Amino acid sequence: MHKGIAVSPGVVVGVAYRVESVFGSTEPQTLADPEQIPAEIDRFNQAVSLSTVELEAIVLKVAQQLGSAEADIFKSHLQIVNDQGLLDKVRSLIENQELTALSALQIVLQGYAASFARIEHDYYRERLADVRDVISRIGSHLTAFPHAMPATSNNGSGSEHADEPVILVAHEILPSQAMSLGNLPIAGIVTETGGGTSHAAILSRSRGIPAVSGVTGITNDVRSGDLMVVDGRDGVVIVRPDREATAAYRKMQREFFDLKDRLVLNRDQPALSADGAPIELLANINNVADAQAAQKVGATGVGLFRTEYLFLTHADVPDEEEQYQHYRQIIEDSPNRAVTIRTLDLGGDKTVPYLGRRSEANPFMGWRSIRLSFEHPRLFERQIRAILRAGRHGKVNMLFPMITTLEELRYVNRLVEETRRNLRREGVPFGEDVKTGVMVEVPAAAVCIDAILRETDFISIGSNDLIQYLVAADRDNPKVAHLCEPLSPAIFKVLQMVLDACQRTGTPVTLCGEMAGQPRSVLALFGMGLRRFSMSPAFVPTIKALLSSVTTAQAERFAHQVLQLKTSEEIRGYLTARLHEVSSALEVFDSA
């Protein structure tokens, strides 16, 4: 049994599938028959040609959209893709060791990784990231990361568990890879790295896939084809469970999914507390599929659309027109066409090569989010234009992440005004009533909330970041995950301060961090006066059911008590007991 961090609730029994990024299985694969060698080399050559064509197009587009310095990165990728030494190594492995092209690429990459690791100079050592990128690009033309996955009813393990659902086991899942998981028959996810609010964790949650992260050593302990249990509530992973444990967890799995299916039947009911107070339950989305999921579960709008996923999954830089079309599609597919669109929040654990790769000791504290937009004003302005233009097609808000100072807010407001003027002058139609708002996720902004509220239309509390910055503990680092605890006195005090300021000024406020979908936190937040919660679509039915079981007065009592407690342990204990009283059936949807 392994213990990790519970990141996405639910229980699943399934068969392990170990992956290493684009390469699918980590075990080297040989060709079934030596006669396949020439065809395999052809396939490899074709993948190289396709990658070259792709990179040439990217160089042009990036130069045009961002400038020649940014395009240089891809020029260097073009050199790598045409490096005869690299290509010959792969061909020779296919020929002499009868490996598949993908396995040969993987072995070549491992060789490079070993030699780069010996380089002392940081700059050159970091060029490995470029080699890795190029090799992954070629690999994706041989068989993309998602396509390397087994099919639904037969997980390809060739084991006795061939019909079991698939549990992905990986060292790390990058946000861009996690995006493609939605199309795959994955029933559970276990990773060695990552914390409760890592973006890959958030994505598993939005897909309703039980997941556990921070499970040290799991990739050594499990082989593809092993039966395993993932309990995303307690953060427990069991490899090769015995018959008794398998039966017990299968029963829990059935109960969990039956309850989830029953809850979603509340989709057409309004969200009301037991005494009839109206609450808005909104969805956090990353793409069109999520917008559609938000409709299906009965969310009344989108409280947070993370636009960076368009950039992470796009072959090159999306230009203004591409962004406009994408945002328009999202708006049209979202509940009530109400969407809060957040400007780019790259950096931290989400990077795109064309904005430059900088190695930073503390990426979450560094060149991230709106700071990156400030450094690329043309890119930023094009995004603002695209959002304003899409604003004609629904009720659209524009949200700025990671605002830290009033100066930043003023600069952003000026930029929006200027962009509106330009659009007007050019005669380009746009949404005149698009409101602009600030994500309160840096403690400095929370502390100066009164000044912020005077100069913005609305705010959205990003509790994931607010927590990590308040407690100075990286949300991605499992070693300090115990500090990234939403149920803590410091967090509730800051939240109360922000909510009170919004109440005094009548400013609309949403909370869009993961707390908004966690039952115990929701009980306290509702009692503190919060009425707009934005969460992964999968949690909307649960939170609707929960709030319908509690009265405003009851929740106010809970909140009052929480604000008196001095430790996280006391708050956890107190809210666990209240959740049990209010709705014990929903306890399975919270993490232990």
Catalytic residue IDs: 199, 512
**Nearer CB in complex with ligand PEP: 17/309:** 309
Beta bridge partners of 436: 398
Beta bridge partners of 5: 213
Radius of gyration in angstroms for the set of CA atoms belonging to the chain, rounded to a whole number: 25
Q: Which residue has the tokens 């609309």?
A: 508
Query: What is the end-to-end Cα distance of the chain in Å, rounded?
Result: 17
Using CB under 5 A as the binding rule, whether residue 441 contacts Mg ion is answered as yes
Using CB under 6 A as the binding rule, whether residue 150 contacts ligand PEP is answered as no
Using CB under 6 A as the binding rule, whether residue 441 contacts ligand PEP is answered as yes
Using CB under 6 A as the binding rule, whether residue 512 contacts ligand PEP is answered as yes
Three-state SS at 440: strand
Task: Select the binding partner of residue 306 from Mg ion, ligand PEP, none (C-beta < 5 to 8 A, by kind).
Answer: ligand PEP
Using CB under 5 A as the binding rule, whether residue 24 contacts Mg ion is answered as no
Question: Which stretch in 54-62, 65-73, 462-470, 489-497 sits in contact with ligand PEP by CB under 6 A?
Answer: 462-470
Count residues binding ligand PEP (CB under 6 A). 11
Q: How far is the CB of 571 from Mg ion (least distance, A)?
A: 23
Q: How far is the CB of 536 from ligand PEP (least distance, A)?
A: 11
Using CB under 6 A as the binding rule, whether residue 462 contacts ligand PEP is answered as yes
**Amino acid found at 568:** S
Contact mark string toward ligand PEP, 400..439, x via CB under 6 A:
----------------------------------------
CB 532, CB 510: distance < 8 Å: yes
Q: How far is the CB of 440 from ligand PEP (least distance, A)?
A: 10
Using CB under 6 A as the binding rule, whether residue 513 contacts ligand PEP is answered as yes
**Nearer CB in complex with ligand PEP: 108/339:** 339
> What part of residues 447-476 is at the interface with Mg ion (CB under 5 A)?
462, 465
**Nearer CB in complex with ligand PEP: 115/362:** 362
Question: Which residues, at least 6 apart from 569, have a Cβ–Cβ distance to it below 8 Å?
Answer: none
How far is CA 354 from each of CA 66, 122, 134, 381, 386, rounded to the nearest angstrom?
A: 8, 20, 14, 17, 20
CA distance 482 to 478: 8
Among 224, 287, 464, 510, binds ligand PEP (CB under 6 A): 464
Sign of CA dihedral 546, 548, 550, 552: positive
Q: How far is the CB of 345 from ligand PEP (least distance, A)?
A: 5
CB 298, CB 544: distance < 8 Å: yes
Q: Which residue has the tokens 């240089």?
A: 72
**Nearer CB in complex with ligand PEP: 90/516:** 516
Find, among 373, 351, 312, 354, the residue nearest to 67 by Cα.
354
**Nearer CB in complex with Mg ion: 350/578:** 350
Sign of CA dihedral 22, 24, 27, 28: negative
| Bridge-based pairing state of the strands 435-440 and 458-461 | parallel
Residues of the shown chain interacting with ligand PEP in the complex, contacts defined by CB under 6 A: 202, 304, 306, 345, 441, 462-465, 512-513
Residues of the shown chain interacting with Mg ion in the complex, contacts defined by CB under 5 A: 441, 462, 465
